Copies of this chain bind each other. A is one copy, B any other.
Amino acid sequence: MSVGDVSKRILLGRKLRSSQLGETLLPKRIALPVFASDALSSVAYAPDEVFIMLSLAGASAYVWSWKVALAVAVVMAAVIASYRQTVHAYPSGGGDYEVAKVNLGVTAGTTVASALLVDYVLTVAVSISAGAQYAASAVPALSGHEASFAAALVVLLMAMNLRGIRESGAFFAVPTYAFMVAMAAMVGWGAWQWWSGDLRPAESADITITPATGFEEPLTTIGLMFLLARAFSSGAAALTGVEAISNGVPAFRRPKSRNAATTLALLGAIAIAMMISVIVLAREIGVRLVDPDEFDRLSRGGGPVPADYDQHTVISQIAESVFTGFPPGFYLTVTVTGVILVLAANTAFNGFPVLGSILAQDGLAPRALGSRGDRLAYSNGIVFLAAMAIALIWIFDAEPTRLIQLYIVGVFVSFNLSQLGMIRHWTRELQGEHDPAVRGRMQRSRVINATGLSFTAVVLVIVLITKFLAGAWITILAMGTFYVLMRAIHGHYERVSDELAADEEDRVLPTRVHAIVLVSKLHKPTLRALAFAQASRPNTLEGVYVATDARATARLMEEWDERRMDVPLKVLHSPYRELVRPIVEYATEIRRANPRGVVAVYIPEYVVGRWWEQLLHNQTALRLKGRLLFTPGVMVTSVPYQLRSSQIAREREERDEFRVRPGDLRSGRVDPRGRRGRDR
């Protein structure tokens, strides 16, 4: 092992080489936590939203809470059943975008893509904001600073993802299973207390809620319907994240689709059970929640609540009353809930580049996003995602209630289009299929997707009606912007592609090659460039020197003679110390004299390793190359000469190549270091 290898190992850490990394294909018990954090974490804020919406009509409306929960559960079951079909039909991991594009065309595909891009931003904003609420309920000092704390969390996540964190199975499994256990313990213990009559009321149970303006009178049927619709559409936030598995099928162990479908069913069952039990238990202990901007509607013992009243989330309140006398239970539950919310946000950081890469392949995003190696493009995406999320957190003061108004639209737009696409898919498949058994299965799948679509379409309409003015318009505007941008990029690539389409005349060979080697001094890089140029046997070869100083010119010419260089040296005079223009003009001149020939310009370049060395070298070469590329009939050859310090940069580049990219795990990518390891 060389010294370089040792230093590399120290820098990268031994862990990256451990065998566990080779197993990137996920067994179900690991795939569940990897893809579940986003969907399960919604249980940490969706119930709150149901109670907050119902409280518009006062706490008496809480009687509807379990019915709303049931409605959400039914829709969720339909959606999960729908995605199980998708997972079978599209195992490539393209998810909603692929389904919409293939079956409904580019417009629908681009619409889904815009919705997903917006969703990623909102996933970060909502999850981190909810996480900050939980942190504040456990650490009172954070109360009132939720937005700053949330922004700091996003910056931390961004930094980790820029650095490249490896999503290992354990990374997800431990907190996700811990969350499930904590929730099960809390709900189970709560249920036992309820059965035995020991259940304590919530900390907010003695609070009276004054109905909001417009809800003072007993509700009319229509008024009630509308209230329930609002509560339902907020509760539908529980559905966010269930589509994650459909993007991750390639990461599953074989049989991929079946394992993915099973995991999806399991996920659905857990999420529904959690949501219903949390809502039922919350109602039982008398949790009281209102919009955090409307604390003036709260009163306690006849007087208003104190100015510094702190409203805790549903799960905190349940944990607080169930675990009375056992504080570790409370803290553990709140902590794992917070952690799983952060994990859900991290999901977006992983999904975003994967989507970007798929869009790049379809020409809807800059092509650089399409290849795994382009760290810069990935980093830009991550920074963009974080910046947008922080902006939203700031604007909406890290209040999940307000952010959710923006969130659900995007989610349901993609649910709808993807399910519509699936119906088309089955219809088309049925046309080519004659085996009655297969046809039966397809028809059943089509019915499932149609059911899913009818549910999600109703939800989308309800969401649009109830949320449009509350913030959904922002989402729709953002989606529109992304849509226009992607279409513009696509249009540009199409135009370029047309302009570049080959025809016959393009194959004409240049008649002759006139090579010029740029000479600044007679040192190793120049000699190497001359040797390489000679090896290419051009029709004409000459060294070209731009003379800015008489003495230096004389010295060079003398040395040229002394060394008996067998290549003529052309001196271009430039009294005003311009370097680029004389060369460009000379190349243009040669080309003009022989329009069917080609001018080959050889530029000796030193390759250095440190960033400040880059500033001190090759700036002129860079500029010259830039200018020469605009000159027709010229090709520019860089002949590198590696200085000793270049080793530093080389090692850095290699380290960088082996670094983890966000999204590697969920797209089932084999560890590249492992692969390289075999070669050695």
Contacts and interface: CB of A to CB of B under 8 A. Distances in A.
Interface string A502-545: 11001111111100000001111111101110111110000000
A587 to B, nearest CB: 12
A556 interface: no
A102 to B, nearest CB: 14
B501 A524 contact: yes
Given A506-B524, A535-B510, A496 B641 contact: no
A329 to B, nearest CB: 45
Contacts of A521: 500
Contacts of A527: 502, 506-507
A634 interface: yes
A293 interface: no
A617 B657 contact: no
Contacts of A625: 638
Nearest to A634: B640
A372 B634 CA distance: 24
A547 to B, nearest CB: 13
B502 A524 contact: yes
B524 A510 contact: no
A381 to B, nearest CB: 13
Contact of A373 (B579, B641, B669): B579
A646 B617 contact: no
Contacts of A620: 367-368, 371, 374
Interface string A623-644: 1011111111011111111111
Interface in A629-672: 629-632, 634-644, 646, 649-650, 653, 657, 669-670, 672
A280 interface: no
Nearest to A363: B616
Label chain A's interface by main secondary structure.
Answer: mixed
A577 interface: yes
Given A367-B619, A368-B619, A508 B531 contact: yes
A399 B333 CA distance: 62
A617 B496 contact: yes
Contact of A507 (B370, B512, B531, B577): B531
Given A536-B600, A619-B366, A620-B371, A638 B636 contact: yes
B606 A630 contact: no
A637 B639 CA distance: 9
B509 A534 contact: yes
A532 to B, nearest CB: 5
B581 A657 contact: yes
Nearest to A667: B576
A638 B634 CA distance: 9
B513 A528 contact: no
A119 B490 CA distance: 53
Interface string A544-585: 000011000000000000010000000000001111110000
Contact of A492 (B373, B576, B613, B642): B613
Q: Which of A577, A606, A615, A644 has the most CB of B within 10 A?
A: A577
A420 interface: no
B650 A640 contact: no
Interface string A76-108: 000000000000000000000000000000000
Contacts of A615: 366, 368
Contacts of A631: 640
A605 interface: yes
A489 interface: yes
A493 B501 CA distance: 47
B598 A535 contact: yes
Interface string A477-504: 0000000000001001100110111110
- Number of chain A interface residues as a range: 35 or more
A357 interface: yes
Interface string A182-197: 0000000000000000
B510 A644 contact: no
Contact of A638 (B367, B629, B644, B670): B629
Given A492-B616, A528-B506, A644-B499, A371 B630 contact: no
A50 interface: no
Interface string A8-52: 000000000000000000000000000000000000000000000
A285 interface: no
A180 interface: no
Contacts of A578: 371-373, 672
A672 B576 contact: yes
Contacts of A523: 497, 500-502
A598 B509 contact: no
Nearest to A559: B502
Contact of A499 (B532, B536, B643): B643
A630 B607 contact: yes
Contacts of A528: 506
Contacts of A579: 371, 373
30 contacts: A367-B616, A367-B619, A368-B620, A370-B577, A372-B577, A373-B580, A376-B619, A377-B619, A497-B523, A500-B525, A501-B524, A502-B524, A506-B524, A508-B531, A510-B531, A513-B535, A532-B600, A535-B598, A576-B670, A602-B635, A607-B629, A625-B638, A627-B653, A630-B642, A630-B646, A631-B640, A635-B640, A636-B640, A637-B637, A637-B638
Given A510-B535, A638-B638, 7 more contacts: A366-B619, A372-B576, A532-B635, A576-B670, A630-B653, A631-B640, A635-B638
The 9 closest A-B pairs by CB, nearest first: A368-B619, A500-B523, A506-B527, A629-B640, A637-B637, A510-B535, A630-B650, A371-B579, A635-B639
